[in-house]
Amino acid sequence: MRIISGSLKGKSINFVRNSTTRPLKDSVKENIFNILSHSNSINTRIEQSNILDLYSGIGSFGLECISRGAKKVTFIEKDKNTLKVLNKNVINFSITNQVIIINDKIENFFKKSIKEKYNIFFFDPPFRDKTFVKNLNFIKNNRIYEKKHIVIIHREKETNDFLDKSIDTIIEKKYGRSRIIFGTFN
C-alpha cells in the first residue's frame, strides 16, 4: 500500500494483517480520488478541506487526502492494534499537526459536543455492518457538514443499505467486490 499522489507520493503505508480490518485497495482508492478530482458532478475539492474519516483503519484514505492538500483529517478508529499502525503512519509522514485521532466508537464521538463542520466524509465500515446508516443520519440531522460537502461510502457491491433517505446519490461505481457511493445530504 502506498500514497498515490501529492506531497507524500510513493510513501509506503503500514498496514495490519488481521480479520477485523480490510484495507482500501490502491486501485479502488485511486478511482475514488480520480472521481473526486475530475467529476463535474462533485463540487467539493480535497484542497483545504476538513475531512472526517470514519472506520478509518490504518488511515489510507485520510493520509491520501493530507498528501493532496487537505487542511485537516479527523480519524475515528476503535481497534487499538489498528490505531497503533495509524499512529505510526502519521508519525512516519510527519503530519501530526494536520490530524486528530480518536480511539473510540463513532457513536461515542458523536455524543460529544461537535463544533466542527466537515467537507468530506469517508465511511468504510465492515461490510456486514448496517449501523453505519445511523451515523450517517446523525451527521445529516445535526448538520455537521459544510454547504459544499461530499459523502463517500465504501461497501460490498452486493449490499443494499437503503441510503436514499440519508443521501442523494450522485455517482455509484463498482470495482471488483467494492461499491463506492458518492452523495450529498438531502
β-sheet with 118-123: strand ranges across: 99-102, 72-76, 50-54, 118-123, 145-156, 178-185, 167-175
The three cell numbers of residue 166 are: 440519508
Q: Which of 166, 154, 148, 162 is nearest to 41 (CA)?
A: 148
pLDDT for 19 equals 53
User: Where exactly are the structural domains of the chain?
Assistant: 26-185
- Binned at pLDDT 50, 70 and 90, residue 49 comes out as very high
pLDDT-derived band at 170 (thresholds 50, 70, 90) equals: very high
- Tens of pLDDT, residue by residue over 92-110, are 999 999 999 999 999 999 9
CA-CA distance, 138 to 143, in Å (whole number)? 8
CATH fold, domain 26-185, is Rossmann fold (3.40.50)
Residue 22, pLDDT score:
64
Measure the CA dihedral 163/134/99/143, to 10°. Answer: 80
Give pLDDT, residue 16.
82
